[in-house]
Amino acid sequence: MKYSVALLAAASVVYAQQAEWQQCGGINWSGGTTCVSGTVCTKYNDYYSQCTPGTGTSAPAPSPSSGLPRLGGVNTAGYDFSVATDGSFNGTGVSPPPAQFTHFAKQGANLFRIPWQLMTPEVGGPINETWFSNFYDVTVQSALSSSPNTFVIVDLHNYARWNGQIIAQGGPTNDQFASVWTQLAQKYGSNERVIFGIMNEPHDVPDIATWVDSVQFVVNAVRNAGSKNFLLLPGSSWSSAQAFPTEAGPLLVKVTDPLGDTSKLIFDVHKYLDSDNSGTHPDCTTDNVDVLTTLVSFLKSNGNRQAILSETGGGNTASCETLVGNELSFVKNSFPTLVGFSAWSAGAFDTTYTLTLTPFANGTDEALWTSANLTASYNFASGPDDCEPLHSIGMYTTDPESTRLQSITQERDLDEFLNTATLAGVDFTAERRNVKIIAAAANSNQNPYLLSEEEERTTLRKQSENKQRLRVPRRPPWTKSMTTAQLDRQEKDAFLEWRRGLAELQDRDQFLLTPFERNIEVWRQLWRVLERSHLVVQIVDARNPLRFRCEDLEAYVQDVEGTEGEAGTGKGKRRSLLLINKADLLTARQRKLWADYFDERNVKYAFFSAANAAAIQEARREAAAAEAQRQGEATQAQENAKIRRDEDVSLQSERTGDADNAEESDDETPSDSDGRAEESTSDEEDDDGVFLPIEEGPEASDPRTRVLSVLELEDLFVRSAPDLSTFVDSSGEHPAKLVVGLVGYPNVGKSSTINALVGEKKVSVSSTPGKTKHFQTIHLSSTLVLCDCPGLVFPQFATTKADLVCDGVLPIDQMREYTAPTTLVVRRIPKEVLEAIYGLSIRIKSVEEGGEGKITGPDLLVAYAIARGFARSGQGNPDEARAARYILKDYVNAKLLFCHPPPSVPDDDFNEQTRQIALLRAVGKKRAPTTRVTKKADTFVAPAVQGDPASTANSSQKGDNLDREFFTNGSLSSRPYTQGARGQGQEFSRAKLYPHQNMVADDGTPLTGRRARIAAVLAAGGDVAPGKKHHKKMKRGKQRSGKGYDD
């Protein structure tokens, strides 16, 4: 069984001869190009050729050509009205309305076929320039301007005749026929969006071979005129698609192109859906799928040629709406063998014509165009599975697809194959294969998701030797003369090649790469930010600068050309700056070590803290609000005092002195209140201080280690930027504003930095990587603009994915494996620091118990889950997965602080001061319980008394508790007890035969005397009677009611 799916265009295995349905050619294909016997190498597009069943000699796949995109549109009749089917003229031609081209182009049509009437008043003479310039060329240019992706077919609508005489068979000569096309080639040869339709519907031709010679004559004449346009080769029998494989087709396939190949020679076929294929009946009787299937098979077996259905259609009836839709669906799936279609017809036809597609006066369309979904169901793009939405035809800036810019860093193998093949525009048939997966057994003491120390050293050395092979995808050179389709195809090709290079690193060289951004739309945002910016600021997290720094991005900045990135406008004009954010998490000594590292490598850097800047701004706003409130209260107090003075005037004179004293007391009251408010504010500020204390010493006084303020950072941007006079826009003027682009990984603080610079929240901030979806420009001042790029996960060498989880690159809430990240946390944060921060007593397994004698990830998770009451449903075991999410988020948010040192600096030495500060902050913090069992429960075991961590590092808490309980005389476990159901946990002395001798209370203490007998009766299911009357006599009477018994 075979499944039609899309696969990666490049293959890693080279075959001498390809089997049936295997790939045999295409751009960048390095495998075999010949097929086994019984199959032929069939070209589907520039990127993919496949061995399909067929006869003929297996030869290498044809060389890739430029090719046409999928085409679809309408015929715009009018100029052909003056030509009869016998080639005679009556002079009744009409110009089609130019507004129709815009109307259909907005709906997605990208092809207009424009028939034409008598252009040369004399056979073989010149074209009537007045008529051509004022009418026909105006119509062609209107169609071309409707969309940058529009193609126009210039159609010679003369049925291979001139006034009833067949060309070269009693009528005009081949030279006269070719003269017309030579003149048209001179007029439109420079525009490859114009396609030359050599002749419309030749019919009743006596000698088809002679007609084919005439077609060859025109092809040679057009090429001799210097034109490289696509040419449509007509057959016979009204260009019938049904007759083509048996009549003119075998002869037309022999027509050659002086350009060297036949990729620009397209066969022109027509097929209507009415009963006699005349296009004169409103009802449809067939969907033409059988005819088109035969045509496609003929084209593939004869050099993999192409054809276009330049005329098809039906009436605006229910039957045609269904059948035309089926036909176009087949044409779509047959691309590129069938290039496209052109429906008949709009233009000068009014709405009463049988096959009209002319829109109504109110702008609505005919039923066939809307109900058959001629545009919605037939997307015009380069492949059957690479269809762009209709609104994307042409240059556009609005993207209605909400998931188009969704960040993609991890893909399943199948998704990666499909997405890569979509970029390449390939479709293939793959065979089912037998796959055997072998999993290596993991060491019980080694986390299978982490590397051993020896493996990590080997991997890091190998990565250091190959780091220059990690590159940021470049936008290929472009010019403003390129169309949207050309630019899009070029960018996808370059991106696909970049993906192949990374795949080669992974597959052939066995490198492990971090999950990196795989969505080309997100990379396009980076390209546009770099092209807009004069200074590119790469923001990194101070806790691990090398993880978040992309060195190749700095090289790419130098490669971006000119003001807008257009090719040929000059490189090396932009500048780069490394901004180390969250620098408040580093001590002065740590910042000095990093400053030395970057100075040695001539990297321009700066330390900054967006959180501190935001906190300072918030404190200033609160202080301003408090001052405004204080002044308001003082003003209110003065007004109250004035009112009281006015009232005191009427009092007796002997009370004047008292009133004055009261006034003085009132005036002093606000001052006292203000002092208390200021004291309270000061206390609050002390509680919300910076994470690290204020430092003194040579490291703190070093200007290189200074954490810049907002104003200092703005000044640094201006000083680090290039001279704006070196940039010139399209109008020849120098830019008036400096554009600073902010790029970097997700969650490093780009948006927070912008908010700090602006002074208020302008950009949405989130802990989820990739919150910013589109690049955003923010005008900071009259001379400075900030440009925020979406967070990008650059490709980096990695040892494990757990590192990226700890660095906050991969979303914690979406992780599936949590043991490896938590193991990294306990490796980096000492046990005593974890216990101090969380108030935990973490139990570790000693070597005697099968452990390693040191803390592990599960140890921390179990202790944290028990302390917080996180339990799984069912048996109530600790919920380690939930605990891991809380702990890892604390690590990412710097509650558990670990800072990576520069190379050659030990981790413990670099973080020693930070750990001491964490222990000092947790002095006197209460410890959480190690169990959730209540104290009075039978299974409760009191926790061990916590002492010096160093003295108990090698001891087992479980063993200590067991020893203490065993040697305590009052404990139940310190005396022997009998086994079995009757043992009851009592001391063994002698056999106890009676039930009440074995009774114990709920707390396990023995019962004696009457209490034991009562417990025995209750245990046997009896009731204790209040008196001695036992009512032993059996009652034989019938119970009548609940009030007693009858006699």
Largest CA distance in the chain: 141
Integer Cα distance of 400 and 901 in angstroms: 45
The catalytic residue among 201, 327, 366, 561 is: 201
Chain CA centroid to CA 588, Å: 38
User: What is the bridge-based pairing of β-strands 307-312 and 338-347?
Assistant: parallel
Three-state SS annotation for 661-729: HHHHHHHHHHHHHHHHHHHHHHHHHHHCCCCCCCCCCHHHHCHHHCEECHHHHHHHHHHHCCCHHHCCC
Integer Cα distance of 629 and 640 in angstroms: 16
Distances (CA, A) of 982 to 989, 998, 1015, 1018: 13, 8, 15, 17
User: What is the bridge-based pairing of β-strands 2-5 and 428-431?
Assistant: antiparallel
Is 201 one of the annotated active-site residues of the chain? yes
Integer Cα distance of 939 and 933 in angstroms: 7
The catalytic residue among 20, 247, 311, 714 is: 311
Q: Record the tokens describing residue 994, joined without a space.
A: 């009676």
Is 411 one of the annotated active-site residues of the chain? no
* CB burial string 449-463: b at 16+ within 10 A, e below: bbbeeeeeeebeeeb
CB 385 within 8 A of CB 418: no
Q: Record the tokens describing residue 652, joined without a space.
A: 């007796």
Q: What letter does residue 116 receive in the DSSP assignment?
A: E
Comparing CA positions, the residue from 271, 252, 269 lying closest to residue 209 is 252
Cβ within 8 Å of residue 540, ≥6 positions away = 547, 548, 549, 578, 579, 580, 581, 744, 745, 748
Q: Record the tokens describing residue 555, joined without a space.
A: 């090289």
User: What is the bridge-based pairing of β-strands 111-116 and 71-77?
Assistant: parallel
Integer Cα distance of 208 and 236 in angstroms: 7
Integer Cα distance of 102 and 232 in angstroms: 25
Q: Virtual CA dihedral for 914, 919, 921, 926, nearest 10 degrees?
A: 150
CB 928 within 8 A of CB 839: yes
CB 823 within 8 A of CB 856: yes
Would you please indicate which residues are annotated as catalytic (active-site) residues?
201, 311
